[in-house]
Amino acid sequence: GEDVEQSLFLSVREGDSSVINCTYTDSSSTYLYWYKQEPGAGLQLLTYIFSNMDMKQDQRLTVLLNKKDKHLSLRIADTQTGDSAIYFCAESIANNDMRFGAGTRLTVKP
């Protein structure tokens, strides 16, 4: 398909790990991104991965990329209530435009 697909909702308990999954569309995408949107705010880049990498770790965040399946995931370790937000997966497509998923709303329960 032509859409970047994500589950719309995820709920976890504080201290657990969260895993947000994304399926993207363009096998030639150069960069894949995770953005975070807090209530009433714009999107902020959390992390990105270059397409020749399988994994990237940045403190509590781990990004895994499976190019064969065009699958991207974001793992947040020790999830905190401050991590509650909408997380968007995005890919850079052939003409260097960016295609966004619909966003996954992460709710962290105390």
Partner 1 sequence: NAGVTQTPKFQVLKTGQSMTLQCAQDMNHNSMYWYRQDPGMGLRLIYYSASEGTTDKGEVPNGYNVSRLNKREFSLRLESAAPSQTSVYFCASSENKMYEQYFGPGTRLTVT
Interface residues toward partner 1, by CB under 8 A = 4, 8, 30-31, 33, 35, 40-45, 48, 88, 92, 95-98, 100-103
Shortest reach from residue 33's CB to partner 1, in Å: 7
Residues paired with 6 in a beta bridge: 22
Residues paired with 63 in a beta bridge: 56, 74
Reading the block at residue 107, the tokens are 């709710």
Rounded distance, CA 52 to CA 31, Å?
Answer: 9
Residue closer to partner 1 (CB basis): 5 or 14? 5
The single-letter DSSP state of residue 25 is S
Residue closer to partner 1 (CB basis): 64 or 102? 102
Question: How many CB atoms lie under 10 A from the CB of residue 5?
Answer: 15
Shortest reach from residue 92's CB to partner 1, in Å: 5
Rounded distance, CA 98 to CA 43, Å?
Answer: 13
28, HSE (Cβ side, Cα atoms, 13 Å): 5
Residue closer to partner 1 (CB basis): 14 or 102? 102
Shortest reach from residue 89's CB to partner 1, in Å: 9
Residue closer to partner 1 (CB basis): 8 or 55? 8
Shortest reach from residue 15's CB to partner 1, in Å: 29
